[in-house]
Amino acid sequence: MTQQQYLRQFSCVIADASGNGLDFSDFQVRFNVRRGDYQAPNSCDVRIFNVADNTANQIQNEFTQIVLQAGYEGSYGVIFLGTIKQVRKGRVDAKNSYVDVTAGDGDSAYNFATCSFSLAAGTTPANAVQALLQSLIAGSLKQQISAQSTLPPLPTNGRVRGRVFYGMTRDAMRELCRSYGLKWSIQDGVITLIPLTGYLPGPIPVLSPDTGLIGVPEQTQQGIEMRVLLNSNIKIGQLVQLQSASVNLNRYGLDTASQAINDGLAGQIKTNADGYYYVMVANHSGETRGNDWYTDLTCLAVDATLTSPFAPPTIPIPATTGPSAVPVPAGGGIIQ
């Protein structure tokens, strides 16, 4: 799937708990969105220039949530949805003022959700995961998060003994996901679970100089890093296809102490001949009246010829309040 990047589009809406808010799309806005497949909440910093004092006070005292949409015609969509954590007012100089907004995605559930329940003998891993998901949702601020509509396949055998869950829900989720080879994160208010060796199936954005690829991808100790023109279609946990044979390889250390690190990196941070990469990090940055309009990616190579553990039959999750959960289509592959 190719999509040319042409004619910028942007929307910044800040609202109260009831959804009544203001649209700052026509203002000069600078934004920096940080997204990853790690468990810590995504976050963003937004600077809005030259708003009226009354409006700045309203943002500071009344508004609680923010939605950013950005991209180009054909690739315009949500790049951040979350709750406001801090508002700061300041000045650039005598003429220009600004309002800085810092927001988090699902941080209330991550920081404050607790669990206190037990599961009887015979319950399955899916029962435990669903119970913890409901605990996260109940612990979010006015239930502003929801679970994805399906779970990856899990073992169907029941527990030999019962189990008690008590403490921070995030810790219980981390332990349970580690036991069954999963990773979890919150993406735009949706709790997402992905197998450690799988990815989310769906349309695969193609990255090339014609569709926004900038410069040459770099192999680093964190993964394959690449920069593209801002693309909201690139989601955490999915695949992208790099249509470029050139990847600048990482330079290894030559000393003896570095050999073990070199061997580990050679086995983990691979390139893929077909250009398929799993998106671990997708940071969006830009300014509506500036030159910056980028998505910075950190990826891992995959073998797309293998079958993904994230394939039917999946396990449905009961409907909950909060943002609409996005169905996960079938298919996938294996991370190398």
Q: State the DSSP string of 43-90.
A: EEEEEEES--HHHHHHHHHT--EEEEEEEETTS-EEEEEEEEEEEEEE
Give the confidence band of 333 by pLDDT, cuts at 50, 70, 90: very low
Give the confidence band of 154 by pLDDT, cuts at 50, 70, 90: confident
pLDDT tens for 115-146 read: 999 999 988 888 999 999 999 988 887 667 88
> 148, 187 in Cβ contact below 8 A?
no
Mean pLDDT of the 171-189 span: 91
Give the confidence band of 228 by pLDDT, cuts at 50, 70, 90: very high
Mean pLDDT of the 12-35 span: 93
Burial of 109 (0-12, 13-18, 19+ CB in 10 A): buried
> 194, 310 in Cβ contact below 8 A?
yes
DSSP state of 107: H
What are the structural domains of the chain?
Answer: 8-105 (2.30.300.10), 109-196 (3.55.50), 206-303 (no CATH)
pLDDT tens for 270-301 read: 677 678 899 999 999 999 999 999 999 999 88
Per-residue model confidence (pLDDT) at position 75: 80
Q: Is the pLDDT confidence value at 5 over 60?
A: yes
Mean pLDDT of the 43-48 span: 96
* Parallel/antiparallel/unpaired status of strands 146-147 and 190-195: parallel
> 191, 133 in Cβ contact below 8 A?
yes
Chain-wide mean pLDDT for the chain? 83
pLDDT tens for 309-321 read: 454 344 444 443 3
Residue with tokens 């399955």: 124
Per-residue model confidence (pLDDT) at position 90: 94
